[in-house]
Amino acid sequence: MSQATLSDIRHPNPYEVAQRQFDIAADRLGLKESLRRTLRSTKRELTVNFPVGMDNGDVEIFTGYRVQHNVARGPAKGGIRYHPDVTLDEVRALAMWMTWKCAVVKLPYGGAKGGVICEPKRMSLREQEGLTRRFTTELSIIIGPDSDIPAPDVNTNPQTMAWIMDTYSQHHGYSIPSVVTGKPVIVGGSEGRADATGRGVVFTVEEAAREIGLDLAGATVAVQGYGNAGSVAAKLLHYDYGAKVIAISDSQGGVYCEAGIDPDSAVHYKGQNGSLSGLPGTEPISNDDLLTLPCDVLIPAALENQISAYNADSIQAKIIAEAANGPTTPEADEILYGNGRMVIPDIIANAGGVTVSYFEWVQDKQAFFWTEKEINQKLRQIMTSSFADVLTMAKREQVNMRTAAYLLAVDRVATASAVRGLYP
C-alpha cells in the first residue's frame, strides 16, 4: 500500500465522508435531484479572519468559520470547536451531521457548526476570552436566539459559552441567554447539560446491549478521548451499570488496566497532571491499540476518522458507540456491519448533548427552569425512542444503523423542505 493511499484511507476529507453517507440514504429514498443537490451542500458559510491581542503584546490573526447546513426544520444549531486542525471542510461536515442529528431525535432545529484554527491549550485564559469575544462579534451577523444557536464542542466549555452570551448581550444592551447553550447554570444554563452527551451515549449503549443480549454489569469498556463526552460515559457505565473500564485515552495517549480503571480517579489525575499518562496502576497504550482491544463496548469520543478500512477489521468490540462526530469512515462501516458489530452512529449516540441544549433554549425562552431529574427523564425518553426508531428501520430495510438513522433524518428534512415549497 503506497503512503498516499494509506493516508487517503486513514484521513479522508470529512465533508466527502458526510456527502457519501448522505448519498447512500438519498439513493435509497429516491430523493428528487434538486432536493438532493440542496441537501448535499451547505446553505451558508462565513469565514472570518480577526485579530486578537496576545499576552506578550503581539496581535495575532486567527481564522474561524460558521457554517449553516440547513434550516428547513428550524434555527441552525451546533457547537463551536477550537483546534489547530480545523478546516472549512471539517466544519461543513460537522454542520451537515448536526442537521441529521437534530432530525433523527426530532428537535425543531437545522444544523450548523463553527470552528477556529487555534491551539487553546497553549493560550492563557485571557487570550481565550479575547479570541472568543472577537469571534462572537464577527459571527454576530449570523448567530442569534432565533437564527443560529452555538454550543460547546471540542476544546470549548461552559466558560466559553458564558463569554459568547455576554458579548452578544453587550451588543444588544440586555441579556439574551438563549443565543447560546451549554452555559453555566448560573447564567441560564440547564441542569444536566454538562453530562448530557455522555449520558445520552450510555442510554443508547443500554438499548444496544439489550438488543444483542449483552449484560453491562461486568462488560468491558474502552474509551478513546477522555473529555466531556468520554469521561462522563465511562463514569456512568462504571458507577451506574457496573461495567469495567479497561482503557481510556486522551490526545497524549492512553492507559490500560485489565482489572479496570476508576473513572473518577482518572478525571482527577488528568486535572492534576494535564494528561492520563502515568495514571497509577495502569500501563501505557497507544490510541491505535486502544481501538482494537478485546472489549465489549468501544466508545470513540475524540475526533473524526479514527475507524477506517485500515483498522475496522481488527475491531473486536460488540458495540461501538460514537460519542465523537464522524469517527467511522463509510468503508469501515461496511466492514463493521459485515463482521456483525453493532455501531451506534454519532447522529443518535451523541445526540444527548444537543437534546439538552434544546431543553436549555426552551427554558431560557420561557425563563422557567426544570430540575435535573426532569431533564434526565426527558432525555432518556427521547434517546430510547429515537434508538428504537433507528433499530426498527435498520431491521426493516436490512441496512446498518447509520444508514437507518440517515433514512429517518434525511426523509424528515426533505419532507420539511418539500412542504415549505420553493421560494420565491
How far is Cα 247 from Cα 251, in angstroms, rounded to an integer? Answer: 14
Pairing of strands 220-224, 342-344: unpaired
Pairing of strands 80-83, 283-285: unpaired
The number of CA neighbours under 13 Å toward the Cβ of 76 is 26
Q: Which amino acid is at 130?
A: G
* Residue 352 lies near ligand GLU (rule: CB under 6 A): no
Residues in 115-144 that interact with ligand GLU by CB under 6 A = none
Stretch that binds ligand GLU, among 71-79, 164-172, 302-310, 383-391 (CB under 6 A): 71-79
Q: Site mask, ligand GLU, residues 292-331, x = CB under 6 A?
A: ---------------------------------x------
* Residue 96 lies near ligand GLU (rule: CB under 6 A): no
**Which of 348, 354, 394, 409 lies at the binding interface for ligand GLU (CB under 6 A)?**
354
* Residue 188 lies near ligand GLU (rule: CB under 6 A): no
Cell of 200: 445520552
**Which residues are the active-site residues?**
113
Taking the complex as a whole, how short is the minimal distance between the CB of residue 376 and ligand GLU, in angstroms? 16
418-423's contacts with Cβ under 8 Å and 24+ in sequence apart are 418/35, 420/72
For the chain, the 3-state helix, strand and coil shares in percent, each to the nearest 5, are 50, 15, 35
* Residue 353 lies near ligand GLU (rule: CB under 6 A): yes
**Total residues interacting with ligand GLU, rule: CB under 6 A:** 12
* Residue 77 lies near ligand GLU (rule: CB under 6 A): yes
Residues 6+ apart with CB under 8 A from 247: 222, 223, 254, 255, 256, 257, 261, 285, 290, 293, 295
**Which of 136, 306, 357, 417 lies at the binding interface for ligand GLU (CB under 6 A)?**
357
Residues 6+ apart with CB under 8 A from 352: 196, 197, 198, 199, 200, 201, 203, 379, 383
* Residue 79 lies near ligand GLU (rule: CB under 6 A): yes
Handedness of CA 90, 93, 99, 105 (dihedral sign): negative
**Residue nearer to ligand GLU on the CB measure, 153 or 191:** 153
Taking the complex as a whole, how short is the minimal distance between the CB of residue 353 and ligand GLU, in angstroms? 4
Stretch that binds ligand GLU, among 171-179, 200-208, 334-342, 349-357 (CB under 6 A): 349-357
* Residue 364 lies near ligand GLU (rule: CB under 6 A): no
Residue nearest to ligand GLU (CB): 79
Pairing of strands 297-300, 319-321: parallel
**Residue nearer to ligand GLU on the CB measure, 68 or 357:** 357
* Residue 151 lies near ligand GLU (rule: CB under 6 A): yes
How far is Cα 414 from Cα 69, in angstroms, rounded to an integer? Answer: 13
Stated as kind and residue range, the H or E segment containing 344 is strand 342-344
* Residue 228 lies near ligand GLU (rule: CB under 6 A): no
Residue 48 near residue 138, CB atoms below 8 Å: yes
* Residue 204 lies near ligand GLU (rule: CB under 6 A): no
Taking the complex as a whole, how short is the minimal distance between the CB of residue 150 and ligand GLU, in angstroms? 7
**Residue nearer to ligand GLU on the CB measure, 77 or 134:** 77
Taking the complex as a whole, how short is the minimal distance between the CB of residue 98 and ligand GLU, in angstroms? 6
What is the binding site for ligand GLU (CB under 6 A)? 77-79, 101, 151, 153, 181, 325, 350, 353-354, 357
